[in-house]
Every structure is written in structure tokens, then in C-alpha cells.
Amino acid sequence: MDASPTTPRPKIYITTSENASLQIDYDLALHCSRLARKLKVLDKHDTLITNTPFQGETIQLALEFCSHMRQKQLSLEANAASFIKSARTMSLAQQQQNARMPTDISGKAAQAEPTGMTLDDASISSSPTDLTQQSASMLDATADMLRFQDAPAPVDESIRSTGGDYIFDDWEFSFAASEAEPRLVTELNAASHFLGINRLLDLTTMKIMMMSQEKTPQQVQNLFGFEGVRNGEDVVSALAQTMEELKW
């Protein structure tokens, strides 16, 4: 759940290679796992400043993607809340219906016999109270599962690691399929690695692979500006190594 506008939060800034300082919304920063880890140890009145080697255009695109992820998260939370509300309403209706049902086993057996059930069969059937308890237990378990599944950030790198979910929505597919300069794609891949936006890292990695298809090693080197690479995988590995060498 979002905090109210009056709730104090750390101020977050990202500096670009042009020495510009961009203030980042707290909720968006939670989708950058490296920022999220730092925010865990900050006081609500602290300020986090992260210096990056990336152009402002690259940072803005990365934040646009974080905004998309934020909207998806809010949508999931809203759907989960709606499902839980509907399930509780159905459970209450079931309880009210069960309260009006006869609980005498012999009466149940008499109703069950025309269908071929014996008295013993009917006697081991769940009572309305049992059914209500089972329904409530299933509802609580479902609610717990939804809360865990759709829990908002803080996000840890291990939660959304690369190589995980490759099923992209329409917005993400369009984001990856749009025309872009190789320089911008590699910078965005490096920025997503640097900031820990792992789903964006998956997308830009896929984009680099697509751009490298059916190209010779020399063409790949000329396209992305990396010497010694042979394919898209080499380009991604070179970018990852460069980012790992940057010290926070």
C-alpha cells in the first residue's frame, strides 16, 4: 500500500553523465534492487545520491520502464483485493446457506438415498459446519498466497533475477521491438544491470540477441562497438563485466 503524501521518505537522486541530477520517486526506486537495498538502511529523512555513467536519456527510459512495472504491481494488488473481497462474499453466502440446511444425519441420508448413496455413505459426508470451516480455510490460504505473490517491493536482486520469466506483456514487447540505436540499447542494458532493474535487463538482453542475429562477428563488433565479441552473448557478457567493475 502506498504511503500517504505526508509520510516522510528518503529523497533519492540519480546523477547522469551530463552532471544532471534527477530526483526519483520512492516507489519507482523500489523497482531498482540496488537502490532498494540501500533504502532499507536509510532513515526516512536521509538522502540517497547515486552517481551513474549514463546519459539522461538512458536514465529516463529506465525510469519509464520502472513506472510501467509500478502500474503492473498496482493492478495486481487491485485484482487481488477484488478477488479476496468476492471470495469472502461467497464464503459468507455459503455460511448463511449452510445455516439453513438440516444437520440431522438421518435427514441427510434420506435425501441421499435416491441417488444411490447408503446410510454409511451419507454419514461420512461433511457437515455444513465442516464445509464452512473448509471454505474459510481455503479462502485464508488463497489470500495469504495472493499477498505473498503480489507483495510490493522492497525488491531484492534474487527475486527478479535474469533468466526467469520471459513472458512479456504487450507494452514490454513493444518496448523491446521498437527501433533503437545500438548505443542506446547497450547503455540501457548496462544501466539496468547497474541499477538492478532485472526485468529490463532481460528485455534489453533479448533485444541485443535479436539485433545480432545473422550477423558476422565483425558486423557485431561494428554494430555495438566492442572488440573481440562474436555474438550477442559476448556483448551482454562484456557489458555485465564492465558494470561489475564499477564501485558503488
Same domain, 216 and 243: yes
Can you give the pLDDT at residue 228?
92
Average pLDDT over residues 125-153: 51
Same domain, 101 and 175: no
Of 149, 177, 211, the position where a domain reaches its end is 149
Is pLDDT larger for residue 93 or for residue 160?
93
Same domain, 139 and 197: no
Can you give the pLDDT at residue 247?
54
Same domain, 129 and 201: no
Same domain, 140 and 165: no
Please name the residues in contact with 72: beta carbons below 8 A apart, sequence gap of 6 or more: 169
Can you give the pLDDT at residue 194?
94
Does any domain span residue 120? Answer: yes
Q: What pLDDT, in 10s, does the model give residues 10-62? A: 999 999 999 999 999 999 999 999 999 999 999 888 999 999 999 999 999 99
Can you give the pLDDT at residue 113?
47
Q: What pLDDT, in 10s, does the model give residues 155-207? A: 333 333 344 455 778 888 887 778 889 999 999 999 999 999 999 999 999 99
Q: Given the DSSP bridges, would you call strands 11-15 and 47-51 parallel, antiparallel or unpaired?
A: parallel
Q: What is the tally of structural domains in the chain?
A: 2
Query: The domain containing residue 112 runs over which residues?
Result: 69-149
Average pLDDT over residues 53-74: 91
Is pLDDT larger for residue 240 or for residue 116?
240
Of 111, 126, 149, the position where a domain reaches its end is 149
Of 103, 125, 149, the position where a domain reaches its end is 149
Can you give the pLDDT at residue 178?
80
Q: What is the pTM of this model?
A: 0.65
Does any domain span residue 234? Answer: yes
Is pLDDT larger for residue 83 or for residue 144?
83
Above 50 in pLDDT, residue 109? no
